[in-house]
Structure 1
Amino acid sequence: MTTTSTTSHAINRALHAAVSTRPRPPRASPVSASLAFAWRALLKIKHVPEQLADAIMIPVLFTVMFTYLFGGAVVGSTGEYLQFLLPGTMVFAVLLITVYAGVNLKTDITTGVVDRFRSMPIWRPALIVGGLISDAGRNLLAAGLVLALGLVMGFRPEGGAFGALLAVALVLAFAFGLSWVWATLGLLLRTPSAISAVSFLVQFPLTFASNVFVDPQTMPGWLRTVVEANPVSLLVDAVRGLMHGTAEPEQIGGVLLAAVLLVAIFGPLTMRLYRTRT
């Protein structure tokens, strides 16, 4: 009896020593949880840097290739064409990589890691919000590369440094709104490759049938009408105006309104699908 009691007390002491007696840490706030998931996404890039290939290669490839291949043919001077082209390639590069908002979310769902996160006492939308925060960093990298490369090639924004920074901020604001669309599709479509395919089918026609590469005034009337109504053209006009000091408040306000509407529509839809489909 004594031996049994002694053994029981020893076991209890060992258990108490193994279990922490410190107070339980407070539950993470929505902000800290979102930032933790943003940091997680950045760490994934650190270990798999190939994920930045699109954010680096698309800006470099299209800015250099279109300037030197088509600049002389389009306007007769590569330097003059660069002044027209660079705001458009910035928009083009950033919009193309917004698809990662949906691809990364669907990848987490298909690998099962979302099930683990759902069992944790955290703010449930933190995974999506944190992913969008990290995507904003990727978008900023692409926009910064376009601008830096353009300056090296001879681009000089007539609106000065302030105008160029405002243009970058406007592109990022619209890209943030568009990212919610891809997050919604990430919850609706079955595979990450399906999201990439839809992105290719939607974004390439919209960007090429716009004023990114060519002035619509040189196009046939029916095509010019389509191009001028293209939302990508409206964004490029605003960015081009900010960089060259000719932007009108209506242009900037229209882009910001479009970004707000995208978040207002697809933000709640994304959150609802995340609650019901994962």
Structure 2
Amino acid sequence: MSVLSCTAAANAAHKSDDSLSVFASGSMPEQALVAGRPAFVVAQAPPAALGPDVVVPPDAVGPAPEPGAPAPRPATPPPASTPAAPGASPSPTPTPTPLPYIENVPFSTLWPKYFDAVKRIQAGDPAGVKELYFSLSSEDVKWFEANYKHLADLLSSGTLTGTPEQLKLFVLQAFLRNMPKSAEKEPKVSQALHKPYAVARVTDHSTGSPVDYETLLIQEGGRWVISHFFFARDFIWMPQLAHFKKLNGIPNSPDETVYLTQGLQPFVEWARGQFLNCGYEREGPRGSSSTPTSGPRR
């Protein structure tokens, strides 16, 4: 799934009876671009068969409406000033603090482990859960461990029971709706200059036609790992969790509180900053995931 405009998706959601279906769009409207770069990421939502039709609130700026409340027509995100380096200033969503940057750590070792874990999860093998954890940042694993029970309740209307391993597998199978399942070519990577941050584009052909997914990568423990679940964490799951927890009297996390009070705009700006810092452009990231570069090629 290529990078899309949150505002464009929100506009479509506001007009649709099924507000989740709009996130399956594969185009990038012009208002999604800031200086020719993508504004943020939205991906496919889980099908109705996985649970109730939980609405992703279609707001991009301002306070988030309660589920079912009329949504205001969102504005186009304004151009952003040059952002600080990732992790250098507070962001609306937690970002792991990587270890010191190590030169020439290959990106290519990440993908075989990731896709093997995906196959296991798709096949219903609980071993795929821990295998996927190895490809994720420690902060994302911590976030998932803290929220998988809530996500299982959200997806199943509270009707699903099972062991922790079964619940995690169920939720990750839903997550894969927003993540690449296979890749015929090595994903391309654009890396921040001498920094342990990068953006990867993965082209998935598992559905027959190519679909692009973007994700943050960080260095952690001497290897590159995936951060923020191909942005589905921030723009698909976190908004749903925020309202689910609020409606059920469960304390919201700091990023969920930011969303409930300020809408998606802080997350749009945060994601935009990650792309800009890594030199990622709409026409495609520069460099190769098999040959890491010290910054994008000019």
Task: Provide TM-score, normalisation by structure 1.
Answer: 0.27
Indicate the structure with greater strand content: 2
Indicate the structure with greater helix content: 1
Task: Provide TM-score, normalisation by structure 2.
Answer: 0.26
Larger CA Rg, structure 1 vs 2? 1
